[in-house]
Amino acid sequence: MCGIFGVRGHDDAVGLTKLGLFSLQHRGQESAGIVAVENGAARGVRSMGLVSDMPLLQLEALRGTLAIGHTRYSTAGSSSIENAQPVLVSSRGGHIALAHNGNLTNAGELRADLEESGSIFASSMDSEVIVHRMARSNAPLPEEKLVDALRDVEGAYSLLISMADTLLAARDPRGWRPLVLGRLNGAPVFASETCALDIVGATFEREVEPGEIIAVDANGERSLFPFERRELKRCVFEHVYFARPDSRIFGGSVDRARRALGRQLARECPVPGADLVFSVPDSSNSAAIGFAEESGVPYELALIRNHYVGRTFIQPSQASRIAKVRLKFSAVREVLDGKRVVMVDDSIVRGTTTRALVSLVRGAGASEVHMRVSSAPVTGPCYYGIDTPSRDELIAATHNQEEIRDSLGVDSLGYLTLDGMLESVPSGPDGFCHACFSGDYPTAPPTDPNKLRFGCGC
Ligand code: 5GP
Ligand code: SF4
Ligand code: MG
């Protein structure tokens, strides 16, 4: 997954983009980058790690009234600076810089076609095919080049692109990933989530619509809907896990969505006689509060998260996961000792983190641990931007619920039903992708899913 931010027509475009990226850091911590455009000339800085790790001197040297930025999520095997974004190239129509959130499902085919006719690629990212296709287009305007580039592209994309002096924003026709438009002193500001508008003081104007391309240049703003309408497939996992609770995405509040998920969970899978409910911070905080509100079981802070353990310090190998969990979380004995507890989490993917957390909670004295999950079981990989592992690593794809309960070491286990989940999110239940929960994939799977996981890191 990734976070994207862009602004045009503001003297402090770089500073605003940096701030915006800080509040989109949860969408990606592997690399960060900013491209700034001054009088049509673009320069960029990309670096591995967090936004705060970006080289200050180089950032201070960036100038321009147009800037786009990107935070990239970690994916297996693709952790390299070549795959950091924004991608920046020069073309006969001027520079092209691109920041992408999502995954293209037919990038392999598109790339093979381009390579066949002589293109060479600088990264393993699916996003790079869009840049190549734009550069090849003979259309006069940047937005027309983008239409040409996106014509045969399948899959998920929220894009911010600068070409010469134009800023382009685009969202795929199914609207998989969020993208919003705000305004600051008249300047348009685009961001993955509204929390990035808030941090720069921009007011939310509207979402970039699914299938829409917005072009901003010296002549103003133009909106196009060049593609066939498709059925809406907004990612329900954004509401469940990914987006920040202070954001509004897909026409609704993430906090309200998570509380509703938690309340529905309490209705579907109550725990009679429980002493307390707690969350696995931070992603399930709002859902656990919803569970507590609906059930009347007191909400407690039983797990404390250490926010200062850098991701780079933590090795992703399976063997070190238990140590990783202990570095990241600790349990409050005074809250848990002798108690029948409800542990709420937003999702179970591999089950390894959850298993280690359960042992931590038992170690702090809990007498019974009842696990409640504010989403349906994850039974399939995501091809549209979230880096879920392959099917054989997903615990719910290979085990039934009793086996999962046993494997996690909990006294009872309850997942939200798919219907309950979809009914709980704002503007649900229709218009959402739920493929990783239901197996109902809106597109053909990529021909080489592993290669495509390189993606934008998404
Ligand atoms: P598991 O027990 O499956 O190893 O981990 C479950 C935890 O992973 C939950 O707390 C959930 O919030 C978190 N999670 C769910 N999806 C993702 C993801 O795509 N990336 C990361 N880093 N964590 C995730
Ligand atoms: Fe979201 Fe799952 Fe669909 Fe991927 S497969 S877009 S994570 S709902
Ligand atoms: Mg979590």
In angstroms, the CA 435 to CA 345 distance is: 20
Task: Output the pLDDT for position 110.
Answer: 92
Say whether pLDDT at 312 is over 70: no
Domain boundaries, the chain: 3-233, 253-435
Mean pLDDT of the region 423-444:
95
Q: Which residues are catalytic?
A: 2
| Closest by Cα among 182, 176, 128 to 20 | 182
Query: Could you say which DSSP state residue 334 is in?
Result: H
Of all protein residues, whose CA lies closest to atom 2 belonging to ligand 2?
436
Q: Which of 346, 382, 458 to mutate to test the pocket of ligand 2 (most atoms within 8 A of CB)?
A: 382
Of all protein residues, whose CA lies closest to atom 13 belonging to ligand 1?
347
In angstroms, the CA 250 to CA 239 distance is: 9
In this chain, the answer to whether the domains covering 3-233 and 253-435 adopt an identical fold is no
Ligand 3 centroid from CA 391, angstroms? 20
In angstroms, the CA 174 to CA 280 distance is: 31
Ligand 2 within 6 A of CB of 433: yes
Ligand 2 centroid from CA 386, angstroms? 7
Provide CATH code, domain 3-233: 3.60.20.10
Q: Which atom of ligand 1 is least distant from the CA of 283?
A: 12
Look up the pTM and report it: 0.95
pLDDT tens profile 52-87? 999 999 999 999 999 999 999 865 446 789 889 999
In angstroms, the CA 334 to CA 275 distance is: 13
239, 244, 246, 248: CA torsion to nearest 10: -50
Distance, first Cα to last Cα, the chain: 3
Cα→Cα distances 404→38, 226, 321, Å:
55, 46, 18
Say whether pLDDT at 314 is over 50: no
Provide CATH code, domain 253-435: 3.40.50.2020
Task: Output the pLDDT for position 448.
Answer: 62
Ligand 1 within 6 A of CB of 351: yes
**Taking the CB of residue 424, how many other CB atoms lie within 10 A of it?**
27
Q: Which atom of ligand 2 is least distant from the CA of 235?
A: 1
Of all protein residues, whose CA lies closest to atom 9 belonging to ligand 1?
347
Ion ligand 3: residues, CB < 5 A: 283
Ligand 1 centroid from CA 85, angstroms? 24
Ligand 1 within 6 A of CB of 347: yes
**Taking the CB of residue 72, how many other CB atoms lie within 10 A of it?**
31
Ligand 3 centroid from CA 74, angstroms? 16
